[in-house]
């Protein structure tokens, strides 16, 4: 199932992600694809808000790689930007996903193998504050 949504602001992007989080099961994984500045971290803010956490806590984990946030469902935020595919494969993502909660992985194109059952979110910057967000569910 695929859905294409237009976002006209960061607030819209957060709302779209918040709605998605409400439909995710415990242990749900969201793979995020998009260029720098596309809105992947804003999307994670919405996921955390939808999981009952404080969206303002979310920052880009580029240098720490993994950040965890509390909520009704815990959210683990992973950023693979600075990793090669082999390094990403050694990160232990299977164990993180098995831990429950929601796992959001930015730069998911660096994964060497597919993650079964994951929701894929492709965000494209259409200029100004407009984004095209394609959500693909298995």
> Mind listing the pLDDT tens digit of every residue in the chain (138 residues)?
899 999 999 999 999 999 999 888 877 999 999 999 999 999 999 999 999 999 999 987 667 789 999 988 899 999 999 888 888 888 888 888 877 889 999 999 999 888 889 999 999 999 999 999 999 987
Range 2-136 has CATH code 3.55.40.20 = no
- Computed over every residue of the chain, the mean pLDDT equals 91
Distances in Å between the Cα of 68 and the Cα atoms of 3, 23, 30 are 28, 20, 15
Beta-carbon count within 10 A of 52 CB: 13
Ordered by start, the domain boundaries in the chain are 2-136
Report yes or no: 32 and 105 within 8 Å, Cβ to Cβ: yes
């Amino acid at each position: 199932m695929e859905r294409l949504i237009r976002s006209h602001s960061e607030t819209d992007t957060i709302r779209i992600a918040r709605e998605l989080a409400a439909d995710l099961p415990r242990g749900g994984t969201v793979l995020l694809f998009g260029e720098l500045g596309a809105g992947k971290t804003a999307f994670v803010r919405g996921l955390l808000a939808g999981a009952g956490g404080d969206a303002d806590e979310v920052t880009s984990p580029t240098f720490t790689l993994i950040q965890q946030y509390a909520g009704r469902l815990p959210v683990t935020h992973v950023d693979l930007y600075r990793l090669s595919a082999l390094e990403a494969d050694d990160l232990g993502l299977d164990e993180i996903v098995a831990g429950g909660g929601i796992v959001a992985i930015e730069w998911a194109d660096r994964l060497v193998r597919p993650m079964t059952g994951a929701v894929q979110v492709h965000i494209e910057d259409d200029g100004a504050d407009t984004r095209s967000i394609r959500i693909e569910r298995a």
